[in-house]
Amino acid sequence: MTLIDLRSDTCSQPTRAMREAMAWADVGDDVYGDDPTVKELETESAALLGKQDAVYMPSGTMTNQVGIRAHTEPGDAVLFDQNAHVYLLEGGAPAAYSGTLPRLLPGIRGIFTAADVAAAVGRPHPFFPSTVPAPVKLLCIENTHNLGGGTVWPLEQLLAATAAGRQLGLNLHLDGARLWHASAATGIDVAEYAAPFDTVSVCFSKALGAPVGSCLAGPAELVARARRFKQQIGGGFRQAGIVAAGALYALRQHRSQLPEVHANAKRFAVTVSQMDGIDLDPAHVETNIVLFRLTRGSSAAFVDQAHRLGLHVLPSGADGIRAVFYLDISADDADRAATVVGKTLAAL
């Protein structure tokens, strides 16, 4: 029995062709700015995202946190959705690395409104000294939203929320780890989603199928500042062209396959949503992430039993389950995974 691994789209495996591209990549020392493959990836990513420059780093956590550091000084406040990856799942780095304070926005499945942004910043009043509160410097948005269930920001709402941030004098950072997925789901160009933001972080290692890495794109001056912070936290990774070649391959060859990945996630969700004991609206499955609730029993018992039966999924809170689809998971795997969900429910 082969285990179907739906814990995360980071579990994807590099293909043979990708490994070939990596094996023969031209490389140099990235710290000295010498690696031609890294440069090619940075140039191509910046162009795709409509930004002046980009910098390649080992992880999405690093591109997000270096981005936050580049926009802020210790003591500044940053606006995040209450379930943002940068806030909840990056080891406390906004506090530990940038010394920033989170101000949380009440997003629904990761999506909040312009009014939420305005309310979180508040209105200055001459009776109240502006030196008292931590100054809010940055608004972060996540598209698609991981813990929201792969939610895509509606473009109009994204434009309204970012315009509200701008009006309040904030800088804007997009955690676009899965921006490729938003674009594949809606047909809206990644550059259009990226346009309102100063900086954009994108990942190649999730459902795009590359083994390593992310780019932070933005204006040349900010990217230059980010390069300094990348070095400061040990992100200078020498002959990184080996892994950048995998990222370039993924960018060029794998984006077109994302609609199929989304279709497999939906196929699984539709079947599972019809099972007794599951709370899941398939309309909420917009991209490659399926989140569902158990109406009885605990998520811990469910994931253990599913694992024994051949399906690896993650708990999401006390009664939630997360299943993530990627290139290596076929339509047949999606059907087999749904069958295991049914058997798991029956066994509990």
Ligand X SMILES: Cc1ncc(COP(=O)(O)O)c(C=O)c1O
Contact residues for ligand X, defined by CB under 6 A: 10, 59-61, 64, 85, 142, 146, 175, 177, 203, 205, 214
Q: For the chain, how far is it from start to end, CA to CA, in angstroms?
A: 21
Instruction: Give the integer Cα–Cα distance in Å for 192 and 62.
Output: 24
**Residue 18 or 57 with smaller CB distance to ligand X:** 57
Q: Taking the complex as a whole, how short is the minimal distance between the CB of residue 145 and ligand X, in angstroms?
A: 7
The residue number with the shortest CB distance to ligand X is 60
**Residue 324 or 337 with smaller CB distance to ligand X:** 324
**Residue 181 or 266 with smaller CB distance to ligand X:** 181
**Residue 72 or 205 with smaller CB distance to ligand X:** 205
Q: Taking the complex as a whole, how short is the minimal distance between the CB of residue 343 and ligand X, in angstroms?
A: 28
**Residue 146 or 305 with smaller CB distance to ligand X:** 146
Q: Taking the complex as a whole, how short is the minimal distance between the CB of residue 59 and ligand X, in angstroms?
A: 3
Instruction: Give the integer Cα–Cα distance in Å for 236 and 252.
Output: 24
